Amino acid sequence: MQRLDKLLSEAGVASRRELKGILRAGRVTVNGATVTRGEEKFDEQTARITLDGAPVELRRTVLLMLHKPAGFVTSTDEPGSRTVMELLPERWRRLGALPVGRLDKDTEGLLLFTNDGQLAHRLISPKSEVWKVYYAEHEGAAQEADVEAFAQGVTLADGTQCLPARLRPIADGKCHVDVQEGKYHQVRRMLASRGLPVTYLKRVQFGALELGDLPRGEVREVDPVIFTEV
Ligand code: URA
């Protein structure tokens, strides 16, 4: 059982203070009856709540995938820059969905959002061993020695040691890179450390989840069950 004002504020309807007025005005019903007191408690699993006659969706875990275009920073607030939050429809922002990890401003592709902090942590943590797959275009041509170096764990220019990763050349200047961690500019720096500077980078897969044909700039809801093993 939960207080009605808590349920409504967590659902993103309005702030606790605004809710007082909304409730007093008789705009909220629960299970068919008008309720004017926010202190009344209801079962969040079964309560059917409406505001101005429209059903209110109670807070639930949301997992979303965005096909991030280049030019957007992965941040909730960065003055002077366009952020990925601008691409998230209001109904999901109100449910508290936030980016899971980061993609660089110039990187495109699959960016997850969730309002479940623990799930976000598990998805990012290298301990969870979730593979993130990137498609990269780069100068030069990857050699067998580069594939080997990735498998061993590359040492970046500043001495940072990376976990073992996979470099899968596609053709000269094109490859897939699979990593389980997410250090700053990691894939760009890994390839640069092998003399293969990146000219284009896109994340195409996150664990079992593929970007597929999701158009650039669009968001799709994902069933979190895809990450139950994580
Ligand atoms: N590695 C990078 O270099 N950039 C990203 O955005 C993600 C991984």
Q: Where are the alpha helices (DSSP H) in 131-205?
A: 144-152, 186-193
Measured from CB, residues less than 6 Å from any atom of ligand 1 are: 103-104, 107, 185-188, 201
Mean pLDDT calculated for residue range 135-158: 97
The number of helix segments (H) and strand segments (E) in the chain equals 6, 15
Find the mean pLDDT for residues 188-214: 98
- The reported pTM is 0.83
pLDDT band at 215 (very low <50, low <70, confident <90, very high): very high
Residue range 74-100: mean pLDDT, rounded: 92
Residue 10 has pLDDT above 90, yes or no: no
Q: Which atom of ligand 1 is nearest to the CA of 103?
A: 6
| Residue nearest atom 7 in ligand 1 by C-alpha distance | 103
Q: Residue 168: pLDDT above 80? A: yes
Exposure on the CB side of residue 27, measured as CA atoms within 13 A: 16
- C-alpha of residue 177 to centroid of ligand 1, in Å: 10
Return d(Cα 184, Cα 177) in angstroms, integer.
Answer: 15
What token pair was written down for 176? 């897939």
Residue 69 to residue 87: CA distance in whole angstroms: 10
Q: The tokens of 149 are what?
A: 């170096």
Binned at pLDDT 50, 70 and 90, residue 91 comes out as: confident
pLDDT number for residue 3: 93
Of ligand 1's atoms, which has the minimum distance to the CA of residue 106?
6
Percentage of residues in the chain with pLDDT exceeding 70?
100
Query: Given this model, what pLDDT does residue 83 score?
Result: 97
- Tens of pLDDT along 42-72? 988 889 999 999 999 887 789 999 999 999 9
The two three-digit tokens of residue 162, written as one number:
């990376």
CB contact burial 172-200 (16+ within 10 A = b; e otherwise): ebebebbbbbbeeebbbbbbbbbebebee
Mean pLDDT along residues 30-42: 96
With a cut of 90, say whether residue 90 has pLDDT above it: no
User: In the structure, what pLDDT confidence band is assigned to residue 22 with cuts at 50, 70 and 90?
Assistant: very high
> What is the reported pLDDT for 36?
97
